[in-house]
Amino acid sequence: MPTIGQEIKQRKAFPSKPQEAAVTLLRTADVLRRHLGAAIERQGITAQQYNVLRILRGAGADGLPTLEIAARMIEQTPGITRLIDRLETKKLVERQRRSDDRRCVYCRITPAGRTLLARLDEPVRTAADQAFHVVNKLELAQLVTSLDHLRDSLRQREE
């Protein structure tokens, strides 16, 4: 198994373990994103579009305002409106303005969007299982805890 330094053909050692960990995490996230994306893109949508649909399915019949969807995205995106435009064009999402506040647009997943997500549930689950098959349950739990801790720490520094 090549190290991250070997994989990216780095000639010098990393200046620190945290820098090595950061590069390793970013590279791994990219590889994982492409692996999962391959399963999703077979259905004609992007991973970000899948994420929007997944969020809206979880929101239920009430739907969510556009900015709330943006806040819940796995990867933050400045183009949430364009992303939803594309899903609406595909008839996977519908939008409705609130009568009490015309500036607020609520988005809901359509039946076609729910059907598409149902078709993707198993392929995405399988792709995730395949990606993590080399990691045992204890290591996986530790990884999730460590990543939660790291994200929380970084958010606190931003505040």
Query: In sequence order, what DSSP letters do the residues of 20-61 get, joined into one string?
Result: HHHHHHHHHHHHHHHHHHHHHHTTT--HHHHHHHHHHHHHGG
Residue 41 amino acid letter? E
Whether 11 maps to a domain, the answer reads no
pLDDT at residue 1 in the model: 83
Which CATH number characterizes residue 121's domain?
Answer: 1.10.10.10
Question: Tokens 């990393």 belong to which residue?
Answer: 14
Structural domains in the chain (count) = 1
Q: What is the pTM of this model?
A: 0.87
pLDDT at residue 154 in the model: 92
| Residues whose CB falls within 8 Å of the CB of residue 109, separated by 6 or more in sequence, listed in order | 53, 56, 57, 59, 63, 92, 93, 117
Whether 50 maps to a domain, the answer reads yes
Whether 10 maps to a domain, the answer reads no
pLDDT truncated to tens, each residue of the chain (159 aa)? 888 888 888 989 999 999 999 999 999 999 999 999 999 999 999 999 999 999 999 999 889 999 999 999 998 888 899 999 999 999 999 998 766 766 778 999 999 999 999 999 999 999 999 999 999 999 999 999 999 999 999 989 887
pLDDT at residue 102 in the model: 65
**Which residue range is the domain that position 85 belongs to?**
17-158
Helix (H, G, I), strand (E, B) or coil at 135: coil
Whether 7 maps to a domain, the answer reads no
